A and B are shown apart, each in its own frame.
Chain A
Amino acid sequence: MEQDFLKHLFQQEFSKMVAVISNRFGLQHIELAEDIVSETFLLATETWQIKGVPANPNAWLYTVARQKTLAYFRRNKIFENKVIPEINANQELQDNPHELNFSQQNIKDSQLQMLFSICNPAIASEAQIGLALRILCGFGIDEIAEAFLSNKETINKRLFRAKEKLRTSQIQLTLPAENEIAERLDNVLHIIYLLFSEGYYSRTQNEILRKELCIEALRLGVMLTEYEKTNLPKTNALIALMCFHSSRFNARKSNEGELILYEDQDEYLWDTELIGKGIYFLDLSARGEELSTYHIQAKIAYHHSIKEDTAEKWEEILQLYNQLLIISYSPAVALNRTFALYKANGAAAALKEGKKLKLENNHFYFLLLGEIYKNIDKSKSKTYFEKSHALAKTPAERQVIQRKIDKLE
């Protein structure tokens, strides 16, 4: 219990403290900021084990981080020689150069700036996600390695290169200029969505870690709504989308860890509170002219939060998929669109269109064809399911497809 409390506290405080320290001394000192925070946590663990957790643990952490930061800079004379010349334009800093400001407002501002600095197109997108997990979400290296199904060395190298890039590209810890925010926000939203997907569709079996990834992505999204300039309709649309998806988190897996397809899910396991939040943010997202792909995806996800099958529902979904494909093509969306076509316009129309997709090495393609044939030609259905089974990538997927084959007979 105590262990959980500390882990949670440290994870939360890590991103805040690193953001504030980096904000004061520059992004090029980000590794130092990480070290100072890690040392602070170490001292906290040791001290609190003996004396117990103080009444205000956050304040304790901030005080120690302040002392450690100060000591470090004094010891290394970095402060006088390097940092002061860099920040001498800032009057407040000149007046009080050693003081770290851990006010709620400065923590929030620093975190938002950090979000924009990390989600920078100059850095490879996988590295952006890694950095976001470490710096913005306070995940440990082993957790990041597990989420990526990788190992600690690879992740460490990736993070090191990404920080190197932060330095060499001279990326500053500031918000983009007013006229650039909207464009840069697209990249930030994209990274948040990738973070979320990493959790939602991750290959790792660690359910707690996956859920945490989704929660963190949601938290970063909500953080963007607290600022007028980033609280745009598309931000709200992305949050709505993540809420609707998350609502099905507990229904997607059986107690034995088997994947449960949407149609077989018990809707009583859907999280109605998250669905409600999704509707709230979807409503906010509609207050504007813009129609982003997040809007369309969120609307589709909204329709899926109503289990009842009606022709109207599937017609709406079909039209949304048409819109989505017109904006940008992806094989997954093309397959989903064909499934909606099957539900809305019937098997004949869906087969005619489906066979044009020619996604011959995609197991979902054959799964779809098998599904459409299910009620009209069982032997063809079986042939397609078997093709899908042969191409499937994970044991969980093969299990689901096998069950479909068994059901046919």
Chain B
Amino acid sequence: MKDFVFVFRQAGSEQSNLSAEEIVTINKKWNDWIGGIAAQGKLKNYGAHLQPAGKVLKPGGIITDGPFVEIRERLGGFIVVTADTLDEATTLAHGCPALEADGSVEIRPIFA
């Protein structure tokens, strides 16, 4: 068994534009999907779910509010899963709610 990180990216839709009901629906999708991975005993670490805004530090001490709004695929968070192979890990990533929102899941092995 090896560890893999799933990195979620999706276009930055403003959370504040969503209704309370929409947020509940989105959360349910994520919880059911991650719950499904956990039910197979393959969730290694719940990882982190990132807030949309923050700062970026660049060379020369330049601080910006981040390129978040410019990039189409904003980093949304990550989890760590276990699988035998990269292919198996990629199969686990199917059904990720980020895909429905036109986003992507990047699957990257962790150095052992």
Q: Which residues of A contact B (CB under 8 A)?
A: 315, 318-319, 321-323, 325-326, 329, 331, 333-334, 337-338, 341, 345, 353, 356-358
Contact = CB atoms under 8 A, between A and B. Distances in A.
Contact of A326 (B28, B35, B40): B35
Nearest to A349: B32
A326 B37 CA distance: 9
A220 B89 CA distance: 45
B39 A337 contact: yes
A322 B34 contact: yes
Interface in B1-57: 28, 31-32, 34-36, 38-41, 43, 46
Contacts of A319: 28, 31
Contacts of B31: 319, 322-323
Contact of B35 (A321, A357, A358): A321
Interface of B: 28, 31-32, 34-36, 38-41, 43, 46
A292 to B, nearest CB: 16
Contact of B40 (A318, A341, A345, A356): A356
A333 B40 CA distance: 10
A9 to B, nearest CB: 48
Q: Give the interface SS of chain B, mostly helix, strand, loop or mixed.
A: helix
A318 B31 CA distance: 9
B28 A334 contact: no
Contacts of B41: 329, 331, 334
Contacts of B39: 325, 329, 333-334, 337-338, 353, 356-357
A323 B31 CA distance: 8
5 pairs of A and B residues whose beta carbons are closest in the complex: A322-B35, A325-B38, A334-B39, A329-B41, A322-B31
A326 B34 contact: yes
Nearest to B32: A322
Contacts of A356: 36, 39-40
A326 B46 CA distance: 7
B40 A337 contact: no
A180 to B, nearest CB: 27
A318 B43 contact: no
A334 B40 contact: yes
Contacts of A341: 32
Nearest to B91: A356
Given A319-B31, A322-B31, A353 B36 contact: yes
Nearest to B92: A356
B43 A325 contact: yes
A353 B38 CA distance: 11
B82 to A, nearest CB: 11
A337 B41 CA distance: 12
Nearest to B46: A326
A356 to B, nearest CB: 5
A356 B88 CA distance: 12
Contacts of B32: 318, 322, 341, 345
B6 to A, nearest CB: 14
A315 B29 CA distance: 12
Give the interface centre of A323, A325, A331, A334 by most chain B CB atoms within 10 Å. Answer: A325
Contacts of B43: 325-326, 329
